[in-house]
Amino acid sequence: MTWLIASNNGGKSRDLAACLAYYGLSAEPYFQTQPHLEFPNETTTSYVENAVTKAQFAANRLGVAVIADDSGLEVPAMPDFLGVTTARDLGVRVGGFDRNQEIIRAMVALPNSQRRAIMRATLAVAWPDGRVITAQTTITGYITRHQIGQYSGGFDRLFWLPRYGRTLAELPDLWRIPLTHRGQAARNLIQQLNEMKGSVE
């Protein structure tokens, strides 16, 4: 079975598909085989509510089970700037590489000790019959002063892991995925799906 990813964000969908595939689950962006969907606007500051709303919407429209993601970057020293609405708020003005530059500029005066950051991911699976399961994970690192790395994009190019001395984007998928918030959430979600499957066999 190939699962459908409920997102119109191509980059995020590819990364989620890679994370799920790493742990043995096949998935692809819904728009590769299904009609385009206009998802409801995100009106909440809850990762779980955002992910569940997207998943339920797509499951009801498409008539199949789907997987949705909501994730964000948080910096405790700047709680009003970075969080669950980071990509949404910055995306109004800038995107991609420039979005990262906006974060770097906003944090330029922060000393290294205050650049600690958290990446959060919530995955939700929804079925047309109303069933929902979720998986949530976080990872901690620091925001760099420059974008570094070529193996992945987005916030991975800013997120430095002290233990490895590299950003996430400097690590190839074989090493990167188990360390990422989305990769760990994918593992958690697949464990739940396998448990559900085992309970009905």
Instruction: Write down the residue that tokens 């692809």 correspond to.
Output: 28
DSSP 178: G
**Would you say 81 and 104 are in contact if contact means Cβ atoms under 8 Å apart?**
no
Q: Residue 21 has which token pair? A: 């595939």
Cα gap 12→189, rounded to integer Å: 17
**Catalytic residue (choose from 70, 98, 129, 156):** 70
Nearest to 70 by CA among 39, 92, 97: 39
Chain centroid offset of residue 48 CA: 12
Q: Which two tokens stand for residue 29?
A: 């962006």
80 catalytic residue (yes or no): no
Q: Are 184 and 73 in contact (CB under 8 A)?
A: no
Order the strands of the 159-161 sheet from edge to edge. 26-29, 2-5, 66-74, 116-126, 132-143, 159-161, 166-167
Cβ-proximal residues to 33 (8 Å cutoff; 6+ apart), any chain: 4
Active-site residue list: 70
